[in-house]
Structures are given as structure tokens and as C-alpha cells.
Structure 1
Amino acid sequence: MDIAALIMWVVTALGGFYMLGIWITHGGARGGTSRLPVPVIFGHFALAAVGLVVWIIYVIADETALAWTAFGLLVPVALLGFTMLARWIPVYQGRATTPAEGEQAAPAEKHFPVPVVAGHGLSAVTTVVLVLLTALGIGS
């Protein structure tokens, strides 16, 4: 199950990298009209990356404390992810506030493909469940 969690974590990360690239390319990191705060985006990314490294070390070392550490890192990652999802939904539905004159026409996150957002979210939930089950020793 630890390898399945690792695979899902990597799949989730790939979707996240893709969306981060879109967000940066469309000016999200420069502020503008983005509804996703820069610290939330990069906090989500950094915690997820550190957690992935801890999980890789867990897979190699098979120390239960590392599995629980990785799971503990996933909790704030998930909370930040839900925060971003909640802020993205109105942008996707077109209910975001109208930008002031001279600002970028659409928030950077408006360009996220819905299948990528959905896939990232579903694979993230799967990752969290697999990591938790592994930390609990279920399926070993």
C-alpha cells in the first residue's frame, strides 16, 4: 500500500505542478486579480513537497514514525487545498468580482482545466486515505 500511496502522491503532484505553471504563467504570482493568495499556493506546494520527501524516506526505511509524519504534513496540505478550491469555484462559475479598470481581465486560476482540478482533488483524497491506512498498518 505504501507504493500505491507513493504513486498517487506523484500523480497528485504532477497535476499540482501543471496548475501551478498555469497560475504563474497567467500572472497569479504577481498578484493581479487572482483570488488565490500567494502564501496559500506556495505553502500548499511546499508542505506537499516536504511530505512527499518524507514519504519516499518512509518507503525506503519503513519507520512508522515517518508514515505518521507524512500524514501529519498532509493535513495542512489538504486544508490549504480545500481553501483554494473554495476560492476557485466562484472564479470558475464566473461570479468572481469584476476587475478594476486596467487590471487583468480574468484571474490566473480561471485558466485551470476542470478535469485537472477534479483529478488533482480526487488523487489527493486517495493519497491521504492510502497514507493513513499505511500509517495504521492496514494492508501491510
Structure 2
Amino acid sequence: MGIAALITWLLTAVGGFVMLGTWVAKGGVRNPSSTRLSPPLIFGHFALAAIGLVLWIVYLIADSTALAWTAVVLLVPVALLGFAMLVRWLPTVRGTTAGASDAPPERSFPVPVVVGHGLIAVITVVLALLAALNAS
């Protein structure tokens, strides 16, 4: 179960990198007033998810139940920040025409990547929780 959680966590990270790269390339950092997703929100989500992933990898190597639970607990604020970004992203998809010069950077996120990132993230949380429960 732990390895399955790692695989889904890595897949989730790939989708996250695609969106983060798109957001940065389209000016999200250079012009924060053009985006509905603030840099602290985006980078906080990224940092907590990355820390959790590193802890999960160390847990798999060291077989430390405390590390497993720490990584799972970190997924709570990661999920909350991700949901906050989803709520802020939805109006940009519906309210702007594609390619408009005043479109926020997150308007360029590929919808399948956003949906896949969210769905695989939910699977990751469930698998990590089950693995941590099994490790206890």
C-alpha cells in the first residue's frame, strides 16, 4: 500500500509541476495582480506536498510509523490549499475566452491535468492513510 501511495503521489506531483510551470510561465509570479491564485497559496501547497512526499519516501526506507503519520497529517493542509485553489480557478475557466490578453495565468491550465491532479490526489490521500493505519 505504501508503494502504491508513492506512485500516485508522484503522478500527482507531475500534474502539479505542469500547472506550476504553466502558471509561472504565464506571469503568475511576475504579475501577481493578474492571477486569482496568490503566490503564497501556490507555493505553500507545493512546499507542503513536497515535504510530505520526501517524508513518505523516508518512511518507506526507514519503516518509521511516525514518519508515515507525519506525511499523512501534512496532506490535510495540502488538500485544503488545493481545494482553495480549485475554487479560485473555476471562475477563470468559465469567465474568460481562451487566449485573451487579460486572462489570468491559471486560465491556461489544461483541464484534464487539473481534474487528473485532483482525482489522483484523493487516491493518494486514501492510500497513504490506509498504509499508515496498516503500519500502526
Report TM bin, short chain: over 0.9
Structure 1 partner of 2:122 = 125
Q: Find the residue that maps to 2:103 and give its secondary structure.
A: coil
1:137 aligns with 2:134: yes
Over the matched positions of the two proteins, sequence identity in percent amounts to 66
Q: How far, CA to CA, are the matches of 2:109 and 2:18 in structure 1? A: 9
Q: Quick check: 1:32–1:107 contact (8 Å CA) kept in 2?
A: no
Q: How far, CA to CA, are the matches of 1:15 and 1:32 in structure 2? A: 24
Q: Which amino acid aligns with 2:11?
A: V
Q: Find the residue that maps to 1:36 and give its secondary structure.
A: coil
Question: How do 1:92-107 and structure 2 match up within 5 A?
Answer: 92-94=93-95, 105-107=102-104
> Deviations along 1:39-70, whole A, 9 cap, x unmatched?
00000000000000000000111111111000
Which structure 2 segments of 5+ residues have no match?
Answer: none
1:12 aligns with 2:12: yes
1:114 aligns with 2:115: no
Deviating above 6 A after TM superposition, structure 1's stretches of 4 or more consecutive aligned residues are: none
Q: How far, CA to CA, are the matches of 1:135 and 1:3 in structure 2? A: 12
Q: How far 1:32 moved relative to its partner?
A: 3.3
Question: How do 1:11-90 and structure 2 match up within 5 A?
Answer: 11-30=11-30, 31-90=32-91
Q: Find the residue that maps to 1:93 and give its secondary structure.
A: helix
Q: How far, CA to CA, are the matches of 1:16 and 1:32 in structure 2? A: 22
Q: Find the residue that maps to 1:74 and give its secondary structure.
A: helix
Larger fraction in helix: 2
Q: How far, CA to CA, are the matches of 1:52 and 1:42 in structure 2? A: 15
Q: How far, CA to CA, are the matches of 1:129 and 1:17 in structure 2? A: 22
- The count of aligned residue pairs is 131
> Deviations along 1:79-134, whole A, 9 cap, x unmatched?
00000000000001117xxxxxxxx5100000001000000000100000000001
When normalised by structure 1's length, the TM-score is 0.90
Q: Find the residue that maps to 1:28 and give its secondary structure.
A: coil
Q: Find the residue that maps to 2:34 and give its secondary structure.
A: coil
